Amino acid sequence: MRILYNIAFFIFGIFYLPYLVVTRRYRYGLKEKLGFLSKELKSICAKNKIIWIHAVSLGEMKAIGPLTPLLRKAFPGRKLIFSTITNTGYNAAARMLEEEEAAFYLPFDLSFIVNKVVDIVKPEIFISMEAELWPNLIESVYAGGAKLVMVNGRISPRSYSRHKKARFFISNLLKKFSILLMQSESDAKRIKELGAPGERVFVTGNLKFDLGLKASEGDRDRLRKKIGLEEKEMLLICGSTSKGEENVILDCFKTLKNEYADLRLLIAPRHIERAAEIERLLTKNGFNSAKISLLSRQTSVISRQPIFILDTIGELRSMYSAGDIVFVGGSLIKRGGQNPIEPASFAKPIIFGKYTYNFQDVIRMLLENNAGIEIQDGPGLYKAIKGLLNDPEKRNQMGYNAKVVVDKNSGSCQRTIEQILSNS
């Protein structure tokens, strides 16, 4: 089976190579992806017992953040190393490192590459965020004697349908995990149906509820002042938008701006390399815009343009505190939606489209607690925003409800570390 998988992965790699060249993503960690680790990483692994944490990208790496100090405390004498696939995930991991810790790019999942890396790292515990199932990696780590742990496990309905077609293969991988800690009961049910041993599956909640996002009026006032918002102005934030959504947003904003002169818009694309593309789209639609970077050394980035484009990574969640209404992107198109927990943590009324299967349980909780509005299309988006603009009491109540949902579901980090300790 591993031979067939290796052949399939190799063929996939040949077709994937042009994409890497065109997008220039080959620049990020290619040596490590091929199994050539740095001297520093080799030295850390040679001298210490290792807990290896893998998080595929930025969102997952941020979510593991609150758990890392608990791991260091629970396992003194062990050192944490982090692997990821994306550049944004790598940068997030680098910001969490303490002395004698390291981050690197996950090697390509070919057995001869993975075996080499695992032999160098020699992890005592391997922690996989969500449901990252790389067959050769799992086989190699397991063969090396490490304890495999899945944290913040999630199996979306779409992933479940896909995995179910290869249940025998997936089941084999899941049985190698010592413990599988899932976000919700529905995730736990799905992973057991895919072959995970029931006695090893536990529900600990979503780590993203524990990100500790604290908003204060000081944060809100400071950020609004920095970008030039007056007290009377309302800021609509459209966060983590994907291609195809900005057109819909602009159509709504054009109409709303004629009705509400004090309304301003901030667009934060899911991929910041699209900032220039969005700027051209705005110009084509007759709007001037200003790019803003909260990391700028300038004391102020004041602009009187009607629309802002946030073009820095990792700053959207801070910016939510300055907003009044939030639309969470990736949900008007079939992308599965982006994280609504961040704006909810700041007590913001949240709007999202119908494609939210990546955060199905969180969305359900928001809707059940009157903390979010699901819309179907552009007209629905316009109606939802207009309704919130016209009704400050509803706006405030929805935001309050959203924060209550977050507070009630926090504590996942503590539950996770307790389960890891009890099964060590």
- DSSP labels, 386-422: HHHHH-HHHHHHHHHHHHHHHHHT--HHHHHHHHHHH
Does residue 210 contact residue 238 with C-beta atoms inside 8 Å? no
Q: Is beta strand 307-310 parallel, antiparallel or unpaired with respect to 147-153?
A: unpaired
Distance CA 281, CA 182 (A): 41
Per-residue pLDDT reduced to its tens digit, 109-155: 999 999 999 999 999 999 999 988 999 999 999 999 999 999 999 99
Q: Which domains does the chain have, with CATH numbers?
A: 2-206+410-422 (3.40.50.11720), 217-408 (3.40.50.2000)
Number of CB atoms found within 10 A of residue 79's CB: 20
206-242 tens-digit pLDDT:
999 998 655 454 588 888 988 889 989 999 999 999 9
**Total Cβ atoms within 10 A of residue 10:** 11
CA distances (Å), 306 to each of 261, 267, 268, 282, in order? 10, 11, 14, 11
Closest C-alpha among 235, 152, 39 to residue 413: 152
* Nearest of 332, 325, 319 to residue 268 by alpha carbon: 319
**Lowest-confidence range among 8-12, 201-205, 321-325, 342-346?**
8-12
Question: What is the Cα–Cα distance from 308 to 292, expressed in whole angstroms?
Answer: 7
Q: Which residues pair with 233 in a beta bridge?
A: none
Q: Which of 1-5, 67-71, 282-286 has the highest mean pLDDT?
A: 67-71
List the one residue out of 353, 350, 354, 356 whose CA is nearest residue 394: 350
Single pTM value for the model: 0.85
Which pLDDT belongs to residue 299?
46
